[in-house]
Structure 1
Amino acid sequence: MQHITTTPLPAKSRLWSKVRKGDFIDGYAVDSPLSPRAAADIGFTMPGWTKALMNLRNTLMKPFGLKTENSDSGDGAIFPVEYEGEDELILGTDDRHLDFRICLMQDGGRLHMATWVHRNNAFGTAYLTLIKPFHILIARSTMRRIARVASGPTAE
């Protein structure tokens, strides 16, 4: 399997235009010929444990009026497409407590994934603190699924 590295998103990413001082942004990369769309289709096919965590999150957050829809389109979608180009895909949304985006970017044979979060208030800060360990588990799991395909005989 390909080695997943923790690394900043390439400077040419459109996502950097959103980042402000104090925002959260992480980054992972793996050698992969996959397009951002193909990587998203693989990486965001969540295993059962991730679906269970998302369902729990949605159940707990719904009373607070936070977005809980699981579709990839529509005004209430949790992961709507903000930008899609040949080498970059940015998904995410703005909510009352925080704004977030997930970026997948192909750059020189490496597939990068980053998550950006801007906290809008104290609830957003508390929410990010609470979910950050789960975010890291999910992000690494996503990259492992992408890496498995990238290193397998069917990766093109």
Structure 2
Amino acid sequence: MTKILKTPLPKTSRLWASVAPEDFIDGYAVQTPLSPADAAKIGLSMPRWANALLSLRNTIVKPLGLKTDSADTGDNAIFPTTYEDDNELIIGTDDKHLNFRICLYRENQMVHMATWVHRNNLLGRVYLAVVMPFHILIVRDAMRRIASHAP
């Protein structure tokens, strides 16, 4: 089994241009021959338990006016693509409470996954604190699935 490394996103990623001093950003990496796009298809195809959490999240935040759309592509996608080339895929959205991006970046036979969050207000700070334990579980599970997949 390939080891999941907790490591910063390489500084050559385009995502760093968005990161401000108070922002949250994490980073994980696994060795894999997958492209960022293929890694995203595998890692972001969430298992049932993660989809159940997302559904619960949508039910809870809908009265607060936060985004709950779940289309796979286009303007209504929950994770629309904001940048893509052969070595990097950045997806995410801006909302009232926070702006976030998920970056998959390929460098030296490794695929890195980072999540960046800019909190826009107190709701964004509270939201991030509440979802953080689930975020860690979901990202580590995604990285395990990416690592175990051979093209």
Where in structure 2 are the equivalents of 1:37-116 lying within 5 Å? 37-116=37-116
Q: In the TM superposition, what whole-angstrom CA distance separates every residue of 1:14-49 from its partner, at most 9, and x where no partner exists? A: 000000011000000001110000001111111110
Give 1:76 shift. 3.2
Give 1:78 shift. 1.6
**In 1, Cα distance between the equivalents of 2:21 and 2:106?**
26
Q: Which runs of 5+ in 2 are unaligned?
A: none
**In 1, Cα distance between the equivalents of 2:124 and 2:55?**
19
**In 2, Cα distance between the equivalents of 1:8 and 1:117?**
15
Quick check: 1:67–1:76 contact (8 Å CA) kept in 2?
no
State the SS of the aligned residue for 2:114.
strand
Give 1:74 shift. 3.0
**Residue 17 in 1 paired to residue 8 in 2?**
no
Q: In the TM superposition, what whole-angstrom CA distance separates every residue of 1:122-152 from its partner, at most 9, and x where no partner exists? A: 0000000000110000000000100111xxx
Q: In the TM superposition, what whole-angstrom CA distance separates every residue of 1:27-75 from its partner, at most 9, and x where no partner exists? A: 0000111000000111111111001000000111111111111123233
**In 1, Cα distance between the equivalents of 2:72 and 2:92?**
9
Where in structure 2 are the equivalents of 1:135-154 lying within 5 Å? 135-149=135-149
Quick check: 1:68–1:77 contact (8 Å CA) kept in 2?
no
Where in structure 2 are the equivalents of 1:107-126 lying within 5 Å? 107-126=107-126
Q: Which runs of 5+ in 1 are unaligned?
A: 150-154
Structure 1 consecutive aligned stretches of length 4 or more whose deviation exceeds 4 Å:
none
TM-score relative to the length of structure 2: 0.97
Quick check: 1:68–1:76 contact (8 Å CA) kept in 2?
no
